[in-house]
Copies of this chain bind each other. A is one copy, B any other.
Amino acid sequence: MSGKVSENDMTSVPKTSRVEDAYARLKSQIRSNALPPGFQATEPEIAVRLGMSRTPVREALIRLDAEGLVDLIPRRGVRVLPISPTDMRDIYEILTALEPAAASAVAARRPSEQELAPLELATSRMEAALDAGDLDAWAEHDDAFHNALLDLHGNQRLTAYVASLFDQVHRARIVTLRLRDLPVKSTQEHRELLSHLRSGDSEAARTCFASHRKSTANELLGLLEAFKLSQL
């Protein structure tokens, strides 16, 4: 009964393995552009950089490679994969097929107001962030909206795959966010989609989301072309 777990909470931290640590740090550094697209390094270099041996680094790199974030080049080490307009087109095409299907299914399930709460919250925050002109916050809540919708749908494979696609386009989204007008229309579309989910109109939800995705994709691709951003 003297059961004290605390005291040295520092030692009872989640206990992360080196592989997990390497994976998380590398992924985060890629997302934040600390390791920019095209960056190339050898395994020993990365191992030193992360303060561990090659073994866990290799295992983390294999995972990042499988997720399409880096390329393992036979005798040259790793390269952080740049995203080309073609990549963007391909990825958004997949998102345009998957997310509307999820939205449609969620609407058909007639979700309760409680289930929709995370979506409502995310939408409100997007609106607030937009008013405040805080683009980073807006992007964060946009992410939250899409994740909440997928969670609600409950197809874990779909959720995981969409998440990995979002990871791949993250850098490009961040860059282009500042090259375009404020995402007023996009925010409105989220509000509209939410109303379709509420009313249980599955076809309207699908259509609404599909057109949202298509316009997002077109806008993005237009910017990449306009600014000659052939590599991100």
- Residues of chain A whose beta carbon lies under 8 Å from any beta carbon of chain B: 58-59, 62-63, 66-68, 87, 90-91, 93-94, 96-98, 101, 105, 155-158, 161, 165
Protomer copies: 2
* Chain B residues in 8 Å Cβ range of A66: 62-63, 66-67
- Where chain A touches its partner, the secondary structure class is helix
Residue in chain B with minimal CB distance to A100: B97
Bound Cα distance A228, B34 (Å): 52
Tell me if A97 and B101 are in contact (CB < 8 A).
Answer: yes
Which of B68, B94, B105 touches A158 (beta carbons < 8 Å)? Answer: B94
* Chain B residues in 8 Å Cβ range of A91: 157
* Chain B residues in 8 Å Cβ range of A62: 59, 62-63, 66
CB distance from A213 to the nearest CB of B (A): 12
Tell me if B94 and A98 are in contact (CB < 8 A).
Answer: yes
* Chain B residues in 8 Å Cβ range of A87: 157
